[in-house]
Amino acid sequence: MRLRPFAALSAAALAAVLLAGCAGGGDAATPSGSGAPAADLCSAAAPTGTISEGISATGDFGAVPTVDFAKPLSTDGLSLQRTVMIEGDGAPLAAGNFVNYAATIVDGTTGEVLSQTGYTPGDVLPEQVSPESGGQIFGCATVGSRLALAAATSGAANPSIVYVIDVLGVTPLAAWGQEQDPVAGMPTVALDESGAPTITIPDADPLAETTVVALKKGDGASVAPGDQVLLQYAGVRWSNGEVFDSTWAKGGVPITLATTGVVSGFRQALEGQTVGSQVLVSMTPADGYGEGEINTTDLKGDTLVFVVDILGTATPAAAGQ
């Protein structure tokens, strides 16, 4: 059964599919660090009940647990129940946070493990939570918490499903890696307090080849070909230094892109980089939007410069899983 994003799930539909290898991004909620009250998520959390309270999970936090409960799981009157098994000592989640999590999903009838994800870096993207999306699952849990959920489903294959979720942390909205030395001849980048970049083009001809340099070096998983990447970016034209696109200018909410779904120069900027990194790329027209005469209506013919903050990466599940 294919995993789906929390954003696609309602309380009634939650158990009809397995937990998501989630796509972040979009405008479903305010950004992390926006100060949105945690109370919004507290009230969205699914209620606890005797069924979710009867789930046990042994094993260290952040590691694959052994899950047990009375089988088959009773579905009488069950929609979605949620119990905090371990209360973490970190900050409570707030609407708009991008949550790092690990999840074990178990068939409520047989106890068979259906999925385990998030226990290895690069398994799953951070999930943006709001009262409408993921709030029933996470609520305002504190970082370091372990949650148990039980849900009924109308599906014949899995009439009930058990989830054990570890809340590992919250992803920042800007790259956090170690700053690297600047490279001569490349544009320069200045960051404001939020991490939004201002790109200054040198008074020189565009670079003859696509060039990628790391401004910050992260310590997370490496981006592999075909990965889904959670990122922020800003792009300017070399010809005039004007910004033509920017997630920062659209509210500072990260988006998710596949490395196979972008132009060659952008792909070169992503693949092989590590999560937490900030990357500067100058891409030739051939690796961008095509060669030709520079004009004001499209990006053809122009050398383009991007600053990209890589905030998460995940390899999509194999087709049919």
Q: Among 243, 292, 256, 232, which Cα is nearest to 126's? A: 256
Residue 88 dihedral angles phi and psi, to the nearest 5°: -75, 165
pLDDT along the chain (321 residues), means of 10: 34 33 37 57 95 97 97 89 98 96 96 95 94 94 98 82 97 98 95 96 96 98 97 97 96 96 97 98 97 91 98 75 40
| Chain segment 117-155, per-residue pLDDT in tens | 999 999 999 999 999 999 999 999 999 999 999 999 876
| Per-residue model confidence (pLDDT) at position 18 | 30
For the chain, the first-to-last Cα distance in angstroms comes to 5
What CA–CA distances, in Å, run from 193 to 174, 197, 275, 311?
10, 10, 20, 17
Secondary structure letter of residue 92 according to DSSP: B
| Chain segment 238-258, per-residue pLDDT in tens | 999 999 999 999 999 999 999
Q: Which residues pair with 162 in a beta bridge?
A: 106, 150
User: Using omega within 30 degrees of 0 as the cis cutoff, is the peptide bond preceding 72 cis?
Assistant: yes
| Per-residue model confidence (pLDDT) at position 321 | 40
Q: Among 254, 252, 250, 236, which Cα is nearest to 199's? A: 236
User: Using omega within 30 degrees of 0 as the cis cutoff, is the peptide bond preceding 126 cis?
Assistant: no
- Contact 173/195 with Cβ under 8 angstroms? yes
Reported pTM? 0.87
pLDDT-above-90 percentage for the chain: 81
Domains of the chain as residue ranges with CATH: 6-170 (3.10.50.40), 178-314 (3.10.50.40)
Which amino acid appears at position 249 of this protein?
A: A
